[in-house]
Chains A and B, each alone.
Chain A
Amino acid sequence: SAVISQKPSRDICQRGTSLTIQCQVDSQVTMMFWYRQQPGQSLTLIATANQGSEATYESGFVIDKFPISRPNLTFSTLTVSNMSPEDSSIYLCSAGQGSVTGNTIYFGEGSWLTVV
Chain B
Amino acid sequence: GQQLNQSPQSMFIQEGEDVSMNCTSSSIFNTWLWYKQDPGEGPVLLIALYKAGELTSNGRLTAQFGITRKDSFLNISASIPSDVGIYFCAGPTSGTYKYIFGTGTRLKVLA
Q: Chain A interface (Cβ within 8 Å of chain B)?
A: 1, 4, 6, 31, 33, 35, 42-45, 48, 58, 90, 92, 94, 96, 98, 101-110, 112
How many Cβ-Cβ contacts under 8 Å join chain A to chain B? 57
* Count of chain B residues with a beta carbon within 8 Å of a chain A beta carbon: 23
Roughly how many angstroms separate A43 CA and B50 CA in the complex, as a whole number?
Answer: 21
Main secondary structure of the interface of A (DSSP, over half): strand
In the complex, are the beta carbons of B48 and A45 less than 8 A apart?
Answer: no
In the complex, are the beta carbons of B101 and A43 less than 8 A apart?
Answer: yes
In the complex, are the beta carbons of B45 and A101 less than 8 A apart?
Answer: no
Closest Cβ neighbor of A10 among chain B residues: B40
Q: Is B103 an interface residue (CB 8 A)?
A: yes
Q: With A105-B33, A108-B42 known to touch, is A45 a contact of B97 (CB < 8 Å)?
A: no
In the complex, are the beta carbons of A96 and B101 less than 8 A apart?
Answer: no
In the complex, are the beta carbons of B92 and A103 less than 8 A apart?
Answer: yes
In the complex, are the beta carbons of B100 and A45 less than 8 A apart?
Answer: yes
In the complex, are the beta carbons of A98 and B97 less than 8 A apart?
Answer: yes
The residue in B35, B92, B98 that gathers the most chain A C-beta atoms within 10 A of its C-beta is: B98
The residue in A4, A35, A48, A104 that gathers the most chain B C-beta atoms within 10 A of its C-beta is: A104
The residue in A92, A103, A106 that gathers the most chain B C-beta atoms within 10 A of its C-beta is: A103
Task: Find B43's partner among A31, A44, A96, A107 (CB 8 Å cutoff).
Answer: A107
Cβ–Cβ < 8 Å partners of B100 in chain A: 45
Cβ–Cβ < 8 Å partners of B31 in chain A: 102-103
Q: What 3 pairs across the A-B complex have the smallest Cβ distances? A: A102-B50, A107-B42, A43-B101
Task: Find B98's partner among A42, A48, A90, A107 (CB 8 Å cutoff).
Answer: A48
Q: With A33-B98, A96-B97, A104-B33 known to touch, is A43 a contact of B43 (CB < 8 Å)?
A: yes
Q: With A31-B97, A43-B88 known to touch, is A106 a contact of B45 (CB < 8 Å)?
A: yes
Which residues of B from 17 to 31 have beta carbons under 8 Å from A?
30-31
In the complex, are the beta carbons of B44 and A107 less than 8 A apart?
Answer: yes
Roughly how many angstroms separate A48 CA and B92 CA in the complex, as a whole number?
Answer: 13
